[in-house]
Amino acid sequence: MNLDELVRLGSVSEAAREFLEICVRLHKNIIVAGGTGTGKTSLLNALSTAVPSEERIVVIEDSSELRLKQPHTLYLEAQQADTYGKGGLSIRQLFVASLRMRPDRIIVGEVRGGEALDMIQSMISGHAGSLTTVHASTPRDAMVRLETLSLMSDVSIPIYVARAQVASAIHLIVQLSRFSEDGSRRITRITEACGLENDNYIFRDLFVLKMQGKSREGQVIAELKPTGIQPTFAEEAYDQGMDDRIRLTGALWKK
């Protein structure tokens, strides 16, 4: 499933799709957050189509689900230990190994444990443009979840260090929800993480889903609209020569 299909299904608007594609090309670290069955992996796979074909990508998953079209893609899959406790490979071990493969970007299917610390540290030390998913119902919960998972690592760090690293590493949170009324899965908000203030995360909503009611068939009518707030990296798109990609989101970018 690609972004065109998600636009057709109403999961994302044309403007939001353009914005996310540009952010992927700008090497922003993006977290796809949502509950079980909200379509996180499908959206992650769709976002990966915006990665330039010349980049070297390493995909790390617990069970292989992602399928990228780019030719320079390596797939690493975790492995359960045998009955003697041997031969097991964890997500964290794969992540550490992937850093030796000279990746341009790393895509982790889902962060569930101490590998969060390795991922966060790689994001702030030269491997920008990473994509992953996390179970969380709000952007703030997604950041706190990453912070908590980082503390589950065997590396002992204070909580304020974990928080500072998460705040420094993550640029965007794409929040997904499933609507029980019609079973549709939609992006409910695209939020920029803007660091810390008084040890609290600061957020800036860039797109928010506006509910407009229901159709006669019981389908939810809603539109993902920009809030009118520009991201802190608003100048980067024009600076990096992406003028030809900006059609619907001109108000979000600065020349």
**pLDDT one-digit tens code per residue, 158-168:** 999 999 999 99
In a domain, 253, yes or no: no
Domain count within the chain? 1
Res 96: pLDDT: 85
The residue range of the domain holding 145 is 10-238
**Where residue 219 falls among pLDDT bands split at 50, 70, 90?**
confident
DSSP-derived 3-state class of residue 227: coil
Q: Which two tokens stand for residue 52?
A: 């330039």
In a domain, 5, yes or no: no
Reported as half-sphere exposure (CB side, CA atoms, 13 A), residue 174 has a value of 30
The phi and psi torsions of 210 (rounded to 5 degrees) equal -100, 115
In a domain, 184, yes or no: yes
CATH of the domain at 222: 3.40.50.300
In a domain, 4, yes or no: no
In a domain, 171, yes or no: yes
In a domain, 66, yes or no: yes
In a domain, 243, yes or no: no
Would you tell me how many other CB atoms lie within 10 Å of the CB of residue 100?
Answer: 7
**pLDDT tens digits for 35-72?**
999 999 999 999 999 999 999 999 999 888 899 999 99
Average pLDDT, the chain: 92
Q: What is the pTM of this model?
A: 0.93
In a domain, 252, yes or no: no
Which class for 217: exposed (0-12), middle (13-18), buried (19 or more C-beta within 10 A)?
exposed
Please say whether the beta carbons of 124 and 195 come within 8 A. Answer: no
Q: Please state the three-class secondary structure of 152-218 as a single string.
A: CCCCCCCHHHHHHHHHHHCCEEEEEEECCCCCCEEEEEEEEEEEEECCEEEEEEEEEEEEEEECCCC
Res 216: pLDDT: 78
Q: Which two tokens stand for residue 128?
A: 């920008």
